[in-house]
Amino acid sequence: MKLDRNNYEIFLIDYIDGNLSLDDRRIVERFLAANPDIAEEYENTKEAIIESDHISSLELDNLYRSFSDLPKINETNFEEFCIAYHEGDLNEEEKGRVDTYLQQNPEAKALFQLHKSIRLQADLKIQFPLKDQLKKHLIVPMRRYFYLAGASAAAILIGFGLYFASVREKSDFPPAVKRVNIANTQIENLPQSQHNSIQLQEALNRNETKAKSSPVQTRKLLAVLDTTEQDPPGTIVLARIEPLVTTVHYSMKENEPDMPQVQNSTNSQVISNYQHAHADPPPTEGHSRVINRETILVGALRVGLKGYNSLTESDLALNAEQDREGRIKGISLSGENFEMERKFNNHINKN
Amino acid sequence: MTVAEYNHAVNEYADRIFRFVVKNIRNESTAQDIIQDTYEKLWLKHEGINFSKVRSYLFTTAYHTMIDQTRRDRKTLDIEEAHPKASHPQDEPFDLKANLNRALDQIPEIQRNVILLRDYEGYSYDEIADITNLSESQVKVYIYRGRIALRKLIGSPEVLI
């Protein structure tokens, strides 16, 4: 059947449905080019399809074939060619046809240029403001600050001598424990509690060095009193989980020797301090001064350790719990929304 | 993926995903939540994700989180009120970028998504198809539709002359 103005609708339907051979499609396209009124009708039909939510196979087929098979660019399909050109969907031969069309139809250049111009560009000023809270960090033990009350009971006793009149036996100081109970670490009442899907216990698993906590949790988890089997007996580590920036202040009384003064410490400073604490000879300036480690814990307990979490803008406090005889039977670290404690099997005598 | 690679993914992609989401939903607070959710999901699975796939994972996760969010919000959002008209005021000089941004707000969501992925990130059709769960052909059609819609909203081609 020969295509003419009396039967073109049948051909167009088959054309739109993608049921025509390549040769027949070209016959239809030549017919449309020769009959602008019917071409307009065809465009309206195609527009109607495009406006629908459903993408039919014929539409896809039409779009694909229009760029690969259509032998001629016309006013009707030129815009799609413009898009295809700028999307990089045309081969060199097809781009050459577009260029030729533009030379022959200068009025089409405006549309071509407009499509070239309407490419979206990201606004680099828009930045995610909470990147630091997304990041994960290693737990950095702050042994420098506490270095914890001493590596051994004997050393502690010697150290105590600097501040306290009496010296206790080695057994008075708590031995190392495998695991500190942090089961009661609470993060209740957080404003974004829906994020708290990960158990802190997992995050603080004894054998792990990575904090497996969500960003929100990480922001709120302040510190934990901790120790490891590898630490010297009596060691208590105030471990930090970044990106917290926990500033630790030692409030000292007069006539007491200097203790580390750490203010507004950053993560890098904490690490630096830790490194300094292990340097030999130790640095002598500022907060990096090393004193008898044995004095620090008891000294801190005595004067009251104060800390500050700059992210949550809340205070931290290290407190001692005494038994009836005035010996330290446990210590606790408390802050906003949490309190952690450690009990000593062997109470520490402060005097 | 290691912790270092995860952190690198934060540095490298958080801003870019944020821009993509903000541009779509036009709400920075919600966008921040979506980015946090996205990275939380990444962290949960980071040990099983190859770093070479992280960009795709992040955009895919953010995209679907965003779609879920917008579907929830759609019940209460009056689109017409939320989206200004694209046409520029007649008494002001033509600003293509501003007009384009206004027009972007008015085209269908799916068209906006694929065009943003295409233009912002330079994703190919098949990459966008993977992110959006569409076929490659559908992606192409939506991009073409979106381009035409943007052009029509911006105005006649002579606006640039």
Instruction: Choose between A146 and A339: higher pLDDT.
Output: A339
Give the residue-averaged pLDDT of A61-72. Answer: 54
**What pLDDT does A167 receive?**
28
Same domain flag for B65 and B35: yes
Strand-pair partners of A249: A306
Same domain flag for B73 and B91: no
Same domain flag for B51 and B101: no
Please tell me if residue B137 touches chain A, with a CB cutoff of 8 Å: yes
**What pLDDT does A216 receive?**
30
Same domain flag for B97 and B70: no
CATH of the domain at B125: 1.10.10.10
**Number of domains into which chain B is organized:** 2
Q: Is residue A258 very low, low, confident or very high in pLDDT (cuts 50, 70, 90)?
A: very low
Same domain flag for B161 and B125: yes
Strand-pair partners of A239: A141, A224
Residue B112: which domain range? 86-161
DSSP string, A40-89: HHHHHHHHHHHHSSS--HHHHHHHHHHHHT-----TTTHHHHHHHHHHT-
**What pLDDT does A300 receive?**
40
Neighbours of A105 (CB within 10 A): 15
List chain A residues with CB under 8 Å of B15.
124, 126-128, 131
Residues of A with CB under 8 A from a CB of B: 50, 55, 59-60, 63-64, 79-80, 83-84, 87, 89, 110-111, 113-115, 117-124, 126-131, 133-138, 195, 197-198, 210, 212, 214-216
Q: Give pLDDT tens digits for B109-125.
A: 889 999 999 998 889 99
Enclosing H/E stretch for B54: helix B54-74
Q: Flag whether the ipTM exceeds 0.85.
A: no
Same domain flag for B45 and B102: no
Give the residue-averaged pLDDT of A290-298. Answer: 33
**What pLDDT does B105 receive?**
86
Boundary of a domain, candidates B47, B77, B107: B77
**What pLDDT does B70 receive?**
80
CATH of the domain at B29: 1.10.1740
Instruction: Choose between A257 and B130: higher pLDDT.
Output: B130
Q: Give yes or no for residue A343 having a pLDDT over 50.
A: yes
DSSP class of A298: H
The alpha-carbon gap from B144 to the nearest alpha carbon of chain A, in Å, equals 7
Boundary of a domain, candidates B37, B56, B77: B77
DSSP class of A258: P
- The shares of helix, strand and coil residues in chain B, as percent rounded to the nearest 5, are 80, 0, 20
Same domain flag for B90 and B68: no
Tokens read off for B146: 């979106």
Q: Are A229 and A176 in contact (CB under 8 A)?
A: yes
Same domain flag for B111 and B72: no
Same domain flag for B95 and B72: no
**What pLDDT does B100 receive?**
85
Q: Give pLDDT tens digits for A216-254.
A: 333 223 333 333 344 333 333 333 333 333 333 222 223
**What pLDDT does A296 receive?**
37
Same domain flag for B58 and B90: no
Q: Are B11 and A131 in contact (CB under 8 A)?
A: yes
CB contact under 8 A, A118 and B17: no
For chain A, give the mean pLDDT. 53
Q: Which residue of A has its CA nearest to B22?
A: A126
Q: Are A289 and A258 in contact (CB under 8 A)?
A: yes
Residue among A117, A118, A122 nearest B120 (CA): A122
Same domain flag for B71 and B109: no
Boundary of a domain, candidates B39, B59, B77: B77
CB contact under 8 A, A50 and B7: no
Residue among A180, A181, A172, A166 nearest A152 (CA): A172
Question: From CA A70, how far away is CA A93, in angstroms rounded?
Answer: 12
Q: Are B42 and B6 in contact (CB under 8 A)?
A: yes
CB contact under 8 A, B137 and A134: no
B7-34 burial, b for 16+ CB within 10 Å, e for fewer? bebbeebbbbbbbbbbbbbebeebbbbb
B interface mutation test: which of A50, A56, A107, A114 has the most B CBs within 10 A?
A114
The amino acid at residue A89 is: D
Name the most confidently modeled range: A28-32, A198-202, A339-343.
A28-32
- Phi/psi of residue A344, each to 5°? -100, 135
Same domain flag for B61 and B127: no
